[in-house]
Amino acid sequence: MCSLGTGVSVKTNQPMDVLYDEIRQENLDDPKALPQKLLTMLNGGFTEQDQCVFLALLRKEAPVSRLDFPDCTAYECFVNHIHIEDYLENGGLPPLEMVGRGIALARELKARLSGLHGGKHFRIIVAFDGLTCTVRFHTVRLDEEWIDKNVNGHRGEAVAVLETQELEP
Protein backbone atom coordinates (compact mmCIF):
# COMPACT_ATOMS: atom_id res chain seq x y z
CA MET A 1 0.00 0.00 0.00
CA CYS A 2 1.27 3.49 -0.76
CA SER A 3 0.02 7.03 -0.35
CA LEU A 4 -1.16 9.19 -3.22
CA GLY A 5 -0.88 12.34 -1.14
CA THR A 6 -3.70 14.38 0.42
CA GLY A 7 -4.91 11.43 2.48
CA VAL A 8 -5.48 9.09 -0.46
CA SER A 9 -4.15 5.58 0.13
CA VAL A 10 -4.04 2.89 -2.49
CA LYS A 11 -3.19 -0.78 -2.82
CA THR A 12 -0.65 -1.37 -5.56
CA ASN A 13 1.21 -4.33 -6.94
CA GLN A 14 4.97 -4.27 -7.54
CA PRO A 15 4.80 -3.13 -11.20
CA MET A 16 2.54 -0.19 -10.22
CA ASP A 17 4.85 0.70 -7.30
CA VAL A 18 7.71 1.15 -9.77
CA LEU A 19 5.61 3.31 -12.12
CA TYR A 20 4.03 5.30 -9.33
CA ASP A 21 7.32 6.46 -7.82
CA GLU A 22 8.14 8.18 -11.12
CA ILE A 23 4.57 9.42 -11.67
CA ARG A 24 4.60 11.07 -8.25
CA GLN A 25 8.03 12.68 -8.80
CA GLU A 26 6.78 14.28 -12.02
CA ASN A 27 3.33 15.17 -10.56
CA LEU A 28 1.58 13.32 -13.40
CA ASP A 29 -1.33 12.24 -11.16
CA ASP A 30 -2.83 15.69 -10.60
CA PRO A 31 -6.59 15.64 -11.28
CA LYS A 32 -6.29 19.27 -12.45
CA ALA A 33 -4.44 17.95 -15.51
CA LEU A 34 -7.25 15.66 -16.69
CA PRO A 35 -8.09 16.04 -20.39
CA GLN A 36 -11.29 17.92 -21.25
CA LYS A 37 -12.96 14.78 -22.63
CA LEU A 38 -12.55 13.04 -19.24
CA LEU A 39 -13.81 16.09 -17.39
CA THR A 40 -16.89 16.22 -19.64
CA MET A 41 -17.62 12.57 -18.83
CA LEU A 42 -17.17 13.21 -15.09
CA ASN A 43 -19.26 16.38 -15.18
CA GLY A 44 -22.10 14.35 -16.71
CA GLY A 45 -22.57 12.97 -13.20
CA PHE A 46 -23.75 9.60 -12.00
CA THR A 47 -26.93 7.62 -12.42
CA GLU A 48 -28.36 4.69 -10.47
CA GLN A 49 -30.17 1.82 -12.12
CA ASP A 50 -30.84 -1.76 -10.98
CA GLN A 51 -29.05 -1.12 -7.65
CA CYS A 52 -25.92 -0.08 -9.56
CA VAL A 53 -24.09 3.25 -9.90
CA PHE A 54 -22.74 4.39 -13.27
CA LEU A 55 -21.17 7.40 -14.88
CA ALA A 56 -24.27 8.73 -16.62
CA LEU A 57 -22.68 9.27 -20.04
CA LEU A 58 -21.17 5.78 -20.08
CA ARG A 59 -24.45 4.16 -19.04
CA LYS A 60 -26.30 5.97 -21.82
CA GLU A 61 -23.85 4.57 -24.41
CA ALA A 62 -23.76 0.97 -23.11
CA PRO A 63 -26.09 -1.37 -25.03
CA VAL A 64 -26.38 -3.84 -22.11
CA SER A 65 -28.68 -4.58 -19.19
CA ARG A 66 -28.26 -6.09 -15.73
CA LEU A 67 -29.51 -9.44 -17.06
CA ASP A 68 -26.45 -9.69 -19.32
CA PHE A 69 -24.15 -10.16 -16.28
CA PRO A 70 -23.78 -12.67 -13.44
CA ASP A 71 -23.97 -9.93 -10.78
CA CYS A 72 -24.19 -6.18 -10.20
CA THR A 73 -20.43 -5.81 -9.77
CA ALA A 74 -19.72 -7.24 -13.22
CA TYR A 75 -22.41 -4.98 -14.70
CA GLU A 76 -20.90 -1.86 -13.10
CA CYS A 77 -17.35 -2.82 -14.09
CA PHE A 78 -18.39 -3.38 -17.70
CA VAL A 79 -20.22 -0.07 -18.05
CA ASN A 80 -17.79 1.98 -15.90
CA HIS A 81 -14.75 0.82 -17.91
CA ILE A 82 -12.70 3.73 -19.22
CA HIS A 83 -9.79 3.41 -21.64
CA ILE A 84 -7.69 6.48 -20.87
CA GLU A 85 -6.28 6.67 -24.40
CA ASP A 86 -9.82 7.10 -25.80
CA TYR A 87 -10.13 10.39 -23.90
CA LEU A 88 -6.80 11.99 -24.73
CA GLU A 89 -6.83 15.10 -26.88
CA ASN A 90 -4.03 13.97 -29.19
CA GLY A 91 -4.85 10.26 -29.12
CA GLY A 92 -1.93 9.17 -27.01
CA LEU A 93 0.67 9.87 -24.38
CA PRO A 94 3.86 8.18 -23.27
CA PRO A 95 3.00 5.23 -20.99
CA LEU A 96 4.02 6.95 -17.76
CA GLU A 97 1.81 9.97 -18.47
CA MET A 98 -1.08 7.70 -19.48
CA VAL A 99 -0.89 5.84 -16.15
CA GLY A 100 -0.60 9.20 -14.39
CA ARG A 101 -3.87 10.30 -16.02
CA GLY A 102 -5.44 7.00 -14.94
CA ILE A 103 -4.41 7.59 -11.32
CA ALA A 104 -5.62 11.20 -11.54
CA LEU A 105 -9.00 10.01 -12.84
CA ALA A 106 -9.21 7.44 -10.03
CA ARG A 107 -8.49 10.15 -7.45
CA GLU A 108 -11.19 12.38 -8.92
CA LEU A 109 -13.70 9.51 -9.08
CA LYS A 110 -12.96 8.73 -5.43
CA ALA A 111 -13.65 12.33 -4.44
CA ARG A 112 -16.86 12.57 -6.45
CA LEU A 113 -18.23 9.18 -5.44
CA SER A 114 -17.48 9.90 -1.78
CA GLY A 115 -19.31 13.21 -2.01
CA LEU A 116 -22.35 12.03 -3.91
CA HIS A 117 -22.84 8.56 -2.50
CA GLY A 118 -21.39 8.84 1.00
CA GLY A 119 -23.39 5.86 2.30
CA LYS A 120 -21.99 3.49 -0.32
CA HIS A 121 -18.48 2.09 -0.54
CA PHE A 122 -16.81 2.08 -3.96
CA ARG A 123 -13.67 0.44 -5.36
CA ILE A 124 -11.78 2.13 -8.20
CA ILE A 125 -9.31 0.00 -10.17
CA VAL A 126 -6.51 1.30 -12.40
CA ALA A 127 -4.76 -1.24 -14.64
CA PHE A 128 -1.91 -0.80 -17.12
CA ASP A 129 -0.83 -3.66 -19.38
CA GLY A 130 2.12 -1.87 -20.98
CA LEU A 131 0.05 -0.40 -23.82
CA THR A 132 -3.31 0.69 -22.46
CA CYS A 133 -4.50 2.12 -19.17
CA THR A 134 -8.02 1.39 -17.93
CA VAL A 135 -9.98 2.70 -14.98
CA ARG A 136 -13.19 1.10 -13.74
CA PHE A 137 -15.23 1.27 -10.58
CA HIS A 138 -17.95 -0.61 -8.75
CA THR A 139 -19.91 -0.61 -5.53
CA VAL A 140 -18.30 -2.85 -2.91
CA ARG A 141 -20.68 -5.70 -2.08
CA LEU A 142 -20.04 -8.39 0.53
CA ASP A 143 -20.83 -11.31 -1.76
CA GLU A 144 -19.30 -10.05 -5.03
CA GLU A 145 -15.69 -9.42 -6.11
CA TRP A 146 -14.17 -8.07 -9.28
CA ILE A 147 -10.51 -8.05 -8.32
CA ASP A 148 -8.56 -10.27 -5.95
CA LYS A 149 -7.72 -8.48 -2.70
CA ASN A 150 -4.11 -9.56 -3.23
CA VAL A 151 -3.21 -7.13 -6.00
CA ASN A 152 0.25 -8.71 -6.17
CA GLY A 153 -1.39 -11.77 -7.72
CA HIS A 154 -1.99 -9.84 -10.96
CA ARG A 155 0.87 -10.72 -13.25
CA GLY A 156 1.57 -8.82 -16.42
CA GLU A 157 -0.38 -5.73 -15.35
CA ALA A 158 0.39 -2.82 -13.10
CA VAL A 159 -2.62 -2.48 -10.77
CA ALA A 160 -3.76 0.14 -8.27
CA VAL A 161 -6.94 -0.03 -6.18
CA LEU A 162 -8.51 2.96 -4.40
CA GLU A 163 -11.57 2.79 -2.17
CA THR A 164 -13.96 5.40 -0.85
CA GLN A 165 -13.60 3.94 2.63
CA GLU A 166 -10.47 2.76 4.43
CA LEU A 167 -8.61 0.04 2.58
CA GLU A 168 -8.17 -3.31 4.28
CA PRO A 169 -4.49 -4.19 4.80
> Is 168 part of any domain?
no
| Separation of alpha carbons 144 and 32, rounded Å | 33
Distance CA 150, CA 14 (A): 11
* Residue 107 counted as domain residue: yes
The total number of structural domains that make up the chain: 1
pLDDT score for 82: 97
145 within a domain of the structure (yes/no) = yes
- Please report, to the nearest 10 degrees, the dihedral formed by the alpha carbons of residues 79, 83, 88, 92 taken in order: -160
pLDDT for position 95: 85
Q: Is residue 59 part of a domain?
A: yes
pTM, full prediction: 0.89
Measured CA to CA, the distance from residue 142 to residue 150 in angstroms comes to 16
Structure confidence by residue, pLDDT tens digits, 84-137 = 999 887 767 788 888 999 999 999 999 999 887 657 899 999 999 988 999 999
Where in the sequence is the domain holding 24, given as residue range(s)? 2-163
Which residues 6+ apart lie within 8 Å of 151 measured at CB? 11, 12, 13, 16, 159, 160, 161
36-45, 125-134, 139-148: the lowest-pLDDT one: 139-148
- Does residue 118 form part of some domain? yes
Asked if residue 169 belongs to a domain, the reply is: no
115's CB contacts (< 8 A; 6+ apart) are none
How far is 106 from 167, CA to CA, in rounded Å?
A: 15
Q: What percent of the chain has pLDDT over 90?
A: 53
